[in-house]
Each structure stands twice: as C-alpha cells, then as structure tokens.
Homo-oligomer: A and B are copies of this chain.
C-alpha cells in the first residue's frame, strides 16, 4: 500500500473504534495508557526545558528507580555505575553549517533528557500526535522502564575543521598514534560525533540511539555502531567486578565514582587544561578489540594466569589471596622469578609501571556474529575516560602493545577519541559551550 492509497488529510475511520463517537477518543486513551510508563517520573523540569530556560529536572528524577539524572556538573554515563548494556554510535556530520548542527544538538538534548526519564522523545510522540504524520517517537520503548538509561555525548577531532571551529579544538583531542599490531578498520574508527547509550535493557538503549540517529537525518549519518553486553568494568565500589570473554574479572583496580580526588586528577578535564568549553569534561577513548577466544581457550590455566597476573577464579593478584589485595610487584617466588611476571598484563597496565597513570574503564563485551572463518567475532569494546589521552591512554597502550603477551590473542580493529563536554546546566544543550565560544 503506497502513500497514494492512503487518505492523508482526514482522520481515517479505520483507526477509530466504531463504538467511539469521537475519532480522537481512542488515540487519547492510548496516550493516557502510555502515560503510565512515565507516571512515576516528575516532569515539570523536562517540560519546562523545552524553552531552554527552566530549571533542572535531574534532581527529582535522580532519586527515582531506574532514572539517572541527565543534568548536572558531569555528563551521566561516565562515573554512573556501569549499566549492563551498551549501544554506541559514531556519526559523521553531513553539512558544513554549524547552525544546522547546533539546531540538531538542541533537539537531541531535549529528546535525550526525556528518554533518560523513561519517556518518548516528545510528549505523546509515539501514538499521541497527528495520525497523518510520521510519529515523532518510534515506539519500541513504550511500556519499558527508564532502565538507568544514560546518553553521553562526545565530539571527534574531525568535526572542528568541518565546521570551521579549529580555534576551539583541544590539543588533547588528537588522533592516536599507530600502535604495534593495530589492524584498524576505517569503517569502525573515528567519527565527528558520538553517543554512548548505556542501560539495563538493551531495547531502551537501542531505542534511544535509533531515535537520535533518526532526528539527525540530513545533518548526520551513522559512521559505525557497536552493541555490547556484560560490562567489563565496575565504576562504583557498590558493583561486583564482571568478567571479560577471557573469563577473567576485568577492571578490579578501575577508578571508582567514590574517589573524587582521583577522578579530578585522572578523568575530569581541569580548568586550564585546554579550551574552557571542555573544563569538567573528559576524553573518551574507544577501541574495538577482537579477542581470539579460540586460541586463548587452548592455553593452560597457568599460562592464562601468568599472562594476566591474576588468578582466574578469585581474581587475586598472583601471590595474594583476595581480589582486592594489593598486587606485590616486587615479590619473588622460590625460583627467584617475580611472582607477577615482568610482562604480566596487570603489571604493564599498573600505575606503578606507568608513572602514576590511571584511567576510568567502562567497556563492554561483544559478539558480532562470525568472522567468516568458522569462529565467533567476539571481543571487548574498550571504553576509557581520561583527562588527557596523550599522557594516559597512549603510554599505557604503547606499553601493552609492545610487551603484553596478551596481545597475541588480541586485535585492535577500531579506534576513536571523542571530547565529552562537561555536564549540562539548566536549559543548556549538548556542545553549547563549544558553539557559543
């Protein structure tokens, strides 16, 4: 049935219940019905934000189950306790017009704030609008809870030249150098913008990305997209340490939300670090790391533990008993060799070996079908937030890429760096400080 077959100007009686005297009746009742999905969420702030002027809704919403505050000093989705599912999308801007991008960012921000509150992109967006128009919301999250959705926004280095904003580009937002063993696919790397959607329900994360992508038609197009499950790091002391697809607990020594001084030192961009618009933000480094799980699975447990530097079961540093025991990198075994091998992953990645470098990891496991060679295409979608990629991620990855035995089982297939601005004050929108600068 084509558009020509469908009446476009008048309400279609097919969509009205025969027993209902008013064509708008059933639609209104559906609207009321789905209002229930968001009924637990205070909306005064959200509605008022439509004018970019009113106060924050985050305060009241944050206290409610499954709703993470959208506005605040920091963007959500960085030190927010890592949710279970990820949909990450990198987009390219298809226009040279900064004003068009600014308008999109304004619209995105409103929709993102609503979706993190468990609502449609606009009031009644899925089924409550004009039936002769495409719905403003695609609808697949109707009836689903907010699910701790966070939407974290970032800007890639390539955007600045494209929009004539070079003067505002932070020096820290540079392309990463090539690392030993990189097998980067350009189709899985880079991007002018990114949106990281994390939630406890994958359909909620997918719905959010899909609707933001849709709003971007004509201004942005999808460059690459990655789904993930099974967070591979904790970002709060309240969380247990999850396991990666090598079967090891991953991220035991990750920075945590409960360490504000460490976060200021290692994660949050400080005033004076670069352009003002990034102060309070953080740099997101994404690496798609294919794990050759089939080869890993053929190595002995002993070899695996030596490579990692931790026991597989408990996750304790070798030579210690419990996961959170401090690794003793100076301990020697009866044979005079270090208990934690010289080239063990945890030693190479440790602050001790890297002159104090720490990062906030927030990655996810993935399985993307098959590799066409009879194996699963599986691995780790590594995400880290750092104050400066050049002084934190680069030396760490340089050490790992040249010395870490684990690299025999890994292949870095995608790479990107994004500048994630600070959090949103009342009425402000994603990237506003950059565009206003």
Contact = CB atoms under 8 A, between A and B. Distances in A.
A140 B294 contact: no
Q: Which of A1, A217, A244 has the most CB atoms of chain B within a 10 A radius of its CB?
A: A1
Contacts of A271: none
A213 B376 contact: yes
Contacts of A333: 13-14, 18
Q: Which of A34, A240, A313, A319 has the most CB atoms of chain B within a 10 A radius of its CB?
A: A313
Contact of A227 (B133, B140, B335, B367): B367
Contact of A314 (B30, B137, B300): B30
Contacts of A202: 85, 202, 229-230
B142 A306 contact: no
A219 to B, nearest CB: 11
Contacts of A163: none
Contacts of A376: 89, 209-210, 213, 222, 225
B133 A301 contact: yes
Interface string A242-259: 011111100000000000
B134 A294 contact: no
Contact of A138 (B221, B297, B367, B372): B297
B222 A374 contact: yes
A135 interface: yes
B1 A405 contact: yes
A11 to B, nearest CB: 8
Interface stretch (A58-66, A124-132, A152-160): A124-132
B33 A135 contact: no
B313 A34 contact: yes
A139 interface: yes
A318 to B, nearest CB: 5
Contacts of A298: 134
Interface string A86-129: 01010010000000000000000000000000000000001111
Contacts of A247: 126, 135, 137-140, 142
A343 B19 CA distance: 24
A214 B294 contact: yes
Interface residues of A, number: 110
A340 interface: yes
A375 interface: yes
A311 B6 contact: no
A16 to B, nearest CB: 8
A433 interface: no
Contacts of A203: 229-230, 243, 365
A162 interface: no
Contact of A303 (B1, B19, B224, B230): B1
A120 to B, nearest CB: 10
A43 to B, nearest CB: 19
A370 interface: yes
Contacts of A209: 376
Interface string A379-410: 00000000000000000000000000100000
A137 B293 CA distance: 12
B14 A140 contact: no
Question: What are the 8 tightest A-B residue pairs by CB atom distance, in nearest-first order?
Answer: A139-B247, A30-B313, A221-B374, A127-B313, A1-B405, A202-B229, A203-B230, A131-B302
29 contacts: A6-B303, A8-B300, A14-B306, A14-B319, A14-B339, A15-B305, A18-B333, A26-B311, A26-B316, A29-B314, A30-B312, A85-B229, A131-B301, A132-B302, A133-B300, A134-B297, A135-B312, A138-B245, A138-B246, A142-B243, A206-B229, A206-B230, A209-B376, A210-B293, A210-B367, A213-B375, A214-B294, A224-B369, A225-B377
Interface of A: 1-3, 6-8, 11-15, 17-19, 26-27, 29-31, 33-34, 85, 87, 89, 92, 126-135, 137-143, 187, 202-203, 206, 209-210, 213-214, 217, 221-227, 229-230, 240, 243-248, 293-294, 297-307, 311-314, 316, 318-321, 331, 333-335, 337, 339-341, 343, 365, 367-370, 372, 374-378, 405
Given A127-B312, A203-B230, A210-B293, 19 more contacts: A3-B303, A14-B339, A15-B302, A26-B314, A30-B311, A89-B376, A127-B313, A131-B300, A132-B300, A139-B248, A140-B247, A142-B313, A143-B240, A187-B372, A206-B229, A206-B230, A206-B378, A225-B370, A227-B367
